[in-house]
Amino acid sequence: MNNSVKIASIFFLILIINIAGLLLKYYGLDAYFILAGFRFYISLVVPFFMIYRFSMCNDIKKILVQPSYNKTFQPLGWIFLPLIILFASLYFFKQIEVGDPDYFYEFGLSSIFDYPLYIIWNLPQLLLFAVFLILVQPLIKFNLFFSFLIALSCFMFIFISFNKIKTDYFEIISLVLILALAVLIVKYFQNVYWFSIILFTILWSNILAFGSSSQTMIHLLFASKYDIWGGFFDVSKNIQRYLLPAQLGITLVLIACSVLLRKTKPDIV
């Protein structure tokens, strides 16, 4: 089977994902399920199984056992520096206050201590999506743009609504940015574990700090018995919608700078 046929097959199967997602949305069902605590979102899990072949086992083993990027300090900077910049900016302009949300102890504080558990529960689906992105890249000759299009196409059903709810463009921007981050990390660093930790922690930390009304995000990243969280900190609603895109944008810039530095000098971090 040549590459063009393989790519056509991938897009055909991704079409199936979106049809399934639309059907679930139409009937008011979730596009994810939880099994023994582990989260499985169709757009993160199904693509891997659609392209999996037994002949890929050695490649998958190498991806999981021998990641090509093994640094520590740089990825930690990608996680924490955007948060520091975000909090410093909000504090400087006096746009942030300590909040008093509902479920402060049972959701808020417990989520900090349960962070390792939450990331373990999300690790399988994030690893599967990262491996999928790595496996499809040779088919498109590691083209960054087409890698992004393939990743985005797995989530297109999210943008379609049946009940005429106004489109939240900031959610779309956030999804686009996090998928751009995913593709960038996969292409240039190919460490599926840092991929999972970075993407999970960005979303987890932003929601924990500033809150969210997305039942799906809270169920996936936190406890499934809560539907809304007010956040540890209060900011105006007009500002809150910018915070996740801003955090993702800063992270994207940092990783892009790291990519440029890797190309111009030896990696010593």
Per residue in 81-112, pLDDT (tens digit) is 999 999 999 999 989 999 888 899 999 999 99
Contact present, 76 and 158 (Cβ < 8 Å): no
Distance CA 155, CA 215 (A): 17
CA distances from 9 to 13, 51, 137, 243, 251 (A): 6, 9, 14, 37, 33
- Confidence band for 114, pLDDT divided at 50, 70 and 90: very high
Type of residue at 134: I
- Confidence band for 265, pLDDT divided at 50, 70 and 90: low
Per residue in 29-83, pLDDT (tens digit) is 999 999 999 999 999 999 998 888 877 889 899 999 988 788 878 899 999 999 9
Residue 12: what pLDDT? 84
Residue 266: what pLDDT? 44
CA distances from 135 to 18, 91, 186 (A): 21, 43, 10
Distance CA 249, CA 243 (A): 10
3-state secondary structure of 35: strand
More confident residue, 124 or 145: 124
Q: Where are the domains of the chain?
A: 3-264
Q: Model's pTM, two decimal places?
A: 0.92
Q: Which of 197, 224, 198, 226 is nearest to 211 (CA)?
A: 226
Distance CA 127, CA 260 (A): 26
